Amino acid sequence: MRIDILHDDITKRTVDVIVNAANSSLLGGGGVDGAIHRAAGPDLLEACRELRRTELPAGLPVGAAVATPGFRLPARWVIHTVGPNRHAGQTDPALLSSCFRESLKVAAELGARSLAFPAISAGIYGWDARQVAEKAFDVVRSFSSSASVGAAPDSPLEVVEFVLFSEETTAVFRSVFES
């Protein structure tokens, strides 16, 4: 599996799946979440409301992931995941790892060949970009190696992108990736 690190706008990526750093309500917010909702159009909000009415009445738990169509995005699907919020006392790195792992599992179930991640929980949720990058790369590499030895034989994922909005975060991810 190829890993790419890009300084770009995730809403413009032509991949099968983009991952949304959502809040548990799934009803939009700021940062990446707000940008994805704006770019996808009102149908994304309606799909998220339907998830809340049916499968997720209490909201999406931290570390879990769920998919919706991408609607007006170039990506076919959006996988929503809720990262841990350090400011709210959610400091367990396993929750952060779970966001990446569960998103990869959902992407594999969808048959996605390419996926773009943001820096989940970095920024307003208070996680250090270096720690986010370390956890993300560990999970992606583990997922890739387990797929190659048969643990996830149905995963067609070929490309995982880390699409980062700021130059600073992009530099941190590149530094961690190269070390």
- pLDDT value of position 147: 58
- pLDDT value of position 155: 78
- pLDDT value of position 154: 65
**Is 33 among the catalytic positions?**
yes
- pLDDT value of position 96: 98
- pLDDT value of position 108: 95
Domains and CATH numbers, the chain: 2-178 (3.40.220.10)
Residue 172 one-letter amino acid = V
Contacts for 96 with CB less than 8 Å, ≥ 6 apart: 63, 83, 84, 120, 121, 127, 131, 132, 135
- pLDDT value of position 149: 42
Model pLDDT for residues 134-152, shown as the tens digit of each residue: 999 999 999 988 754 444 4
- Give the total residue count for the chain: 179
Spans of the chain below 50 pLDDT: 148-153
Find the catalytic residue in 33, 92, 138, 154.
33
**Nearest 5 degrees, angle CA 48-CA 53-CA 59?**
65
